[in-house]
């Protein structure tokens, strides 16, 4: 389980964090970064006068994606050499509060064309590793961003201290002027910080889930690894460009890789990802296009069998409430759950994969009642392979649900795991898109299939009492919404239901006039005794001989 890589912004959340004393719970290298809260709303007026960081040109001029691929191949052909532990002791010894007091000076922001800008992150506390960051101009000339203490207010613990240029930085954030008429009024929208993690938000959204470059042996077999982005080359955009390109090198014990991110901020925000991965050794489980999120509790109650309920004034707490997997002719929705005794692992076979994502479908404030966290404004992320990307041709989307009682820890992982064996000497080349998703419906999820918009579970004795009572009976109430649903309340709706153990009885559907959607009631009777693992439940509605809804897929 990984600590959530909070954005580069936590400024307006400080009072809340002080009240609830949550900052002492940070444990891993993906701690909150110092900065301004999400979405950053600092105004970079006067962008033309922002400071540039002077550095000598790099020997490789110009860098290209192809040259990064060659560097990754060369690295994979040699034994893995981890970065040296060279963080000065006084930075390594910083506690959370002292690290949070290190604040980038906005007037030192590095301009990247008229609408983009960059701010690096200081090393220290849990952000121990250095990444090489360089800017490449349109003429191919490059300059490395060497460390400069003048870029930061170091806070009282480090007041007056300085460090050599070789200290470097832990990562960076990018800002963008969403309003073309006010290019200097910029907001943060993308963060690269910690291992291969990065976070993206669309206009009007706040940060939530994270993406990763790759996942290696998540929950085995073998030891899980967290490869690092070790170097970034940021190609400065042209005068009228609304996208920016980032080249990156990745390295870890089992593989090296090269990445090209073509980033287009907006509503939605989009990243076109091209990657070339080069294994050093056989990898038992390689996760491609991995997503990492947080789910504490939601509308379906405790969710997992025997889970302890949450004593929380908020009806829901999560960054994502479900996984969507799209295959040829079908789309599946799996509501997330929490509270198992051990990690739940689910696999959804796809040949080929059309797309998958972790989404946040509940978009109203009343769903969460958390004024500061703004869960209703957190994005989903949709992964769509590009045509011809053979790495996604055969495999399964795997979902990992880690038991958690803490909302500041990511406990959900989803990734595509290819069927083909991953062995040294055989590279994997992949191209896919990453797009933020807000309120649905969206064109990104094509077709006329209605969406699952809520899953609620309760005792079947409430509406269908028996004598003597049978408390093990459960009533599932599933709501669907979408333009493809019949408007006639008397329409003949066919229900397909299945359970891997036990049985559904007496399903009933009705049109919900208040929403224009349809509701399915289905009583589930579990077997006695219950099987040791999850029971998989599925439901789908049809009308006039064709499916009209997603496939609802849940566990009991």
Query: What is the CATH class of 451-555?
Result: mainly beta
What average pLDDT score do residues 486-491 get? 97
Where along the chain do its domains lie? 2-437, 451-555
pLDDT value at 354 more than 90: yes
For residue 332, is the peptide bond before it cis, meaning its omega torsion is within 30 degrees of 0? no
Burial label, 121 (beta-carbon count in 10 A; 0-12, 13-18, 19+): buried
pLDDT value at 464 more than 50: yes
What average pLDDT score do residues 477-499 get? 96
Residue 1 has what pLDDT? 53
Bigger pLDDT: 445 vs 501: 501
CA dist., res. 234 & res. 214, Å (int): 20
pLDDT value at 378 more than 50: yes
CA dist., res. 373 & res. 316, Å (int): 12
Tell me how crowded residue 181 is: count the other CB atoms within 10 A of its CB.
6
> What pLDDT, in 10s, does the model give residues 508-556?
999 999 999 999 999 999 999 999 889 999 999 999 999 999 999 999 9
Residue 468 has what pLDDT? 86
What average pLDDT score do residues 308-326 get? 95
Whether 2-437 shares its CATH topology with 451-555 is answered no
- SS3 call for 95: coil
Bigger pLDDT: 389 vs 288: 288
Residue 220 has what pLDDT? 80
Contacts of 14 (CB under 8 A, 6+ apart): 100
Give first-to-last CA distance, the chain, whole Å: 23
What fold, for 2-437?
Answer: Beta-galactosidase; Chain A, domain 5 (2.70.98)
Whole-number Cα distances in Å, 133 to 48, 59, 169, 246, 249? 22, 14, 8, 10, 11
> What pLDDT, in 10s, does the model give residues 151-206?
999 999 999 899 999 999 999 999 999 998 898 899 999 999 999 999 999 999 99
pLDDT value at 5 more than 60: no
Whole-number Cα distances in Å, 293 to 390, 443, 518? 27, 23, 29
Residue 44 has what pLDDT? 36
Q: Residues 360, 318: contact at Cβ < 8 Å?
A: yes
Supply φ then ψ for residue 158, to 5 degrees.
-120, 15
**Percent with pLDDT over 90 in the chain:** 76
> What pLDDT, in 10s, does the model give residues 40-89?
333 333 332 334 444 455 556 789 999 999 999 999 999 999 988 999 99
Q: What is the mean pLDDT of the chain?
A: 88
């Amino acid at each position: 389980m990984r600590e959530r890589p909070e954005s580069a912004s936590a400024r307006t959340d400080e009072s809340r964090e002080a009240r609830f004393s949550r900052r002492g719970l940070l444990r891993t290298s993906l701690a909150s970064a110092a900065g301004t809260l999400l979405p950053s709303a600092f105004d970079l007026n006067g962008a033309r006068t922002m400071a540039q960081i002077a550095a000598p040109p790099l020997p490789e001029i110009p860098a290209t994606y192809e040259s990064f691929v060659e560097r990754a191949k060369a690295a994979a052909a040699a034994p893995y050499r981890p970065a040296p532990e060279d963080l000065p002791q006084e930075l390594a010894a910083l506690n959370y509060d002292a690290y949070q007091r290190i604040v980038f000076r906005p007037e030192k922001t590095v301009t990247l064309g008229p609408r983009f800008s960059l701010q690096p992150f200081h090393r220290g506390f849990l952000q121990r590793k250095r990444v090489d960051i360089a800017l490449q101009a349109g003429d191919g000339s490059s300059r490395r961003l060497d460390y400069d203490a003048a870029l930061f207010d170091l806070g009282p613990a480090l007041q007056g201290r300085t460090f050599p240029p070789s200290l470097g930085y832990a990562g960076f954030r990018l800002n963008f002027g969403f309003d073309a008429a006010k290019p200097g009024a910029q907001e943060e929208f993308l963060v690269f910080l910690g291992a291969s993690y990065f976070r993206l938000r669309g206009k009007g959204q706040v940060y939530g889930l994270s993406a990763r470059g790759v996942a290696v042996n998540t929950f085995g077999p073998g030891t899980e690894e967290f490869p690092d982005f070790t170097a970034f080359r940021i190609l400065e955009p042209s005068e009228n460009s609304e996208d920016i390109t980032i080249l990156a090198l990745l390295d870890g014990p089992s593989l090296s890789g090269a990445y090209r991110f073509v980033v287009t901020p907006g509503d939605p925000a989009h990243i076109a990802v091209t990657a070339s991965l080069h294994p050093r050794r056989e990898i038992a489980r390689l996760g491609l296009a991995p997503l990492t999120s947080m789910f504490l509790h939601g509308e379906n109650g405790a969710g997992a069998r025997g889970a302890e309920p949450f004593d929380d004034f908020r009806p829901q707490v999560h960054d994502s409430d479900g996984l969507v997997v799209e295959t040829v002719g079908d789309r599946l929705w799996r509501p997330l759950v929490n509270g198992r005794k051990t990690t739940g692992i689910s696999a959804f076979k796809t040949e080929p994969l059309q797309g998958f994502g972790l989404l946040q479908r509940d978009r109203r404030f009343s769903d969460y009642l958390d004024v500061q966290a703004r869960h209703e404004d957190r994005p989903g992320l949709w992964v769509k392979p590009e045509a011809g990307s053979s790495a996604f041709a055969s495999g399964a989307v795997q979902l990992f649900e880690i038991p958690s009682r803490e909302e500041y820890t990511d406990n959900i992982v989803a990734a595509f795991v290819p069927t083909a064996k991953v062995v040294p000497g055989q590279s994997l080349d992949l191209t896919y898109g990453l797009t933020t998703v807000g309120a649905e419906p969206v064109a990104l999820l094509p077709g006329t299939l209605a969406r699952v918009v809520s899953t609620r579970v309760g005792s079947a004795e409430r509406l269908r009492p028996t004598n003597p009572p049978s408390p093990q009976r459960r009533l599932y109430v599933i709501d669907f919404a979408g333009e493809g649903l019949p408007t006639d309340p008397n329409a003949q709706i066919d229900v397909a239901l299945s359970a891997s153990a036990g049985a559904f009885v007496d399903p009933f559907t009705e049109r919900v006039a208040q929403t224009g959607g349809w509701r399915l009631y289905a009583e589930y009777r579990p077997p006695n005794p219950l099987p040791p693992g999850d029971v998989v439940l599925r439901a789908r509605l049809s009308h006039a001989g064709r499916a009209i809804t997603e496939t609802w897929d849940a566990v009991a």
